[in-house]
Amino acid sequence: MYSRIAFHRMHRSTRFRISSYLQNRVGARRIIVLACALIASLSSVPFPSHADKSPSAQQTILHLKIDSEIEPILATYLDEGIDEAARRNASLILITMDTPGGLSSSMENIVQHILNSKVPVAVYVSPTGSRAASAGFYILLSADIAAMAPGTHTGAASPVMIVGGYAMAIDETMRKKINNDALAFLRSYADKRNRNPVLAATAITDAKAFTEREALDGKMIDVVASSEDDLVRQLNGREITRFDGTKVTLALANPQRTDFELSPRQKFLSRIVAPDMFFFLLIVGVLGLYTEFTHPGMIAPGVAGGICLVLALYAMQILPVNIAGIFLILLALAMFILEAKFTSHGVLAAGGIVSMLLGALFLIRSPYTAGGVSLGTAIAVTLPFAALTMLLMRLVLRSRKWKQVTGREEMIGAQGVVIEPVGNGPDSPEGMIRIHGELWRATSTQPVAEGKSVRVLRIDGLKLYVEPIESPAAAMQPQQV
């Protein structure tokens, strides 16, 4: 009986464990199913992604500025700004411009980056009274959107050879060559930008300039806007055609505007690569090293000259430097040195000044647009440089005539008094003299008695070669015949 009861209890316990196991499996399956359903439902919910938090979702406008002459550092700044806009996935690049022109190589670099930009570029000539002259005209027409403020103008983009701020006369064949090259460069992108290539060409062939209304009526620009806010309002919802032919609709309902400034390094370098500053650094560097070489031990001129010369060499790698200008400056330096050494009655000095002026004016090449050392800066630097160079060389030449004041050579020409007779025949040619409070062995080709004065002619080891000094009274006595 007890065995039946134990079997019954064991059977009930086994059934309970099996049912609990089955219930746990069913519960686990239900949990898995519910979890899968929850994951599926969550995956369909549009969570805000990283891209939605990017500046593109906020309709970012990156603002760049052209407010001076177009030069290599400014071109680098614009290139970096365009690349930064692409990294930020900006909606628009807005370049405000007020420039008289600049170097052709820098202008071409900027135009190429605008044409290849992944972000639409708007160039806006602003504020009122600004201009996009010369190189600025090419940049304005290369943009996706060309805009101008009231009271601005553009054009006057004829290629010129600028030397010292003044246009040089060139022969007709060279003028045609440069003009045709500039026209082809402008046409290469003006047609695709839907500009008026015929009217735009007159800015090159006839040096025409256009007000904002004339440019708009002539279909060279797209918009006339009174302010940046007005420009953004007019561009919002506007469909544009990119350079590669794709169409883009600008969404600028509530944009976030961000300024892209020159870095401190670029601000410093932009001063160095200015043609006038480059010429100044070059001349100061040469003058500092020349001063150190002619007057060793001054240290400060050598340090300053070395720094200036290194900065000038850096700018030389960026600017389109004409090697003929460098040679003319070196020739001028040689003439200034020769003028101090030889008597040329000012001919070498005048030739050096003319050579340095020409070297300064020819130093920077810019075949399409203005850019180079100004005539005023060339004169202001050349004249002091000429005067200082000749003065330093005269001091060097004069110092060579000075008597030695230290060392054995200092005794040459010194006077002493005979202590023991000198030059008394072949048996005793040597005697003793006192000079500078010291006793020296001395010899002479003439006999000199004790107490007489002698002058040192040369030194051989510890022996002095002397000659007697004739007293003024003896020299004035008449000779007997």
Strands (DSSP E) contained in 398-452 are 415-420, 430-435, 438-443
Sign of CA dihedral 328, 333, 335, 336: positive
Kindly write down the DSSP assignment for every residue of 195-250, as one continuous string. Answer: --HHHHHHHHHS--EEEHHHHHHTTS-SEE-SSHHHHHHHHTT-EEE-TTS-EEE-
**Residue whose entry in the numeric block shows the structure tokens 């883009």:** 248
Tell me which of 177, 192, 208, 452 is the catalytic residue.
177
In terms of C-beta density within 10 A (0-12 exposed, 13-18 middle, 19 or more buried), how is residue 203 classed? buried
- Active-site residue, 192 included: no
Contact 404, 410 (CB under 8 A): yes
Residues making up the chain, counted from first to last: 481
- Active-site residue, 177 included: yes
Contact 63, 232 (CB under 8 A): no
Amino acid at site 43? S
The candidate with the shortest Cα–Cα distance to 403, out of 394, 416, 395, 412, is 412
What three-state secondary structure class fits 419?
strand
Contact 101, 369 (CB under 8 A): yes
Contact 32, 51 (CB under 8 A): no
Tell me which of 134, 158, 355, 444 is the catalytic residue.
134
Angle, helices 375-399/323-341, rounded to nearest 10 degrees: 40
Contact 417, 453 (CB under 8 A): yes
Q: What are the φ/ψ torsions at residue 370 (nearest 5 degrees)?
A: -70, 150
- The CB density around residue 81, as the number of other CB atoms within 10 Å, is 22
Q: Which residues make Cβ contacts (< 8 Å) with residue 320, sequence separation at least 6?
A: 103, 105, 364, 365, 366
Rg (CA), the chain: 44
Measured distance CA(194)–CA(421) in Å, rounded = 109
Please count the CA atoms within 13 angstroms of the CA of 97 that sit on its side-chain side. Answer: 36
Q: Which residues make Cβ contacts (< 8 Å) with residue 411, sequence separation at least 6?
A: 435, 436, 456, 459, 464
Q: Which residues are catalytic?
A: 134, 177
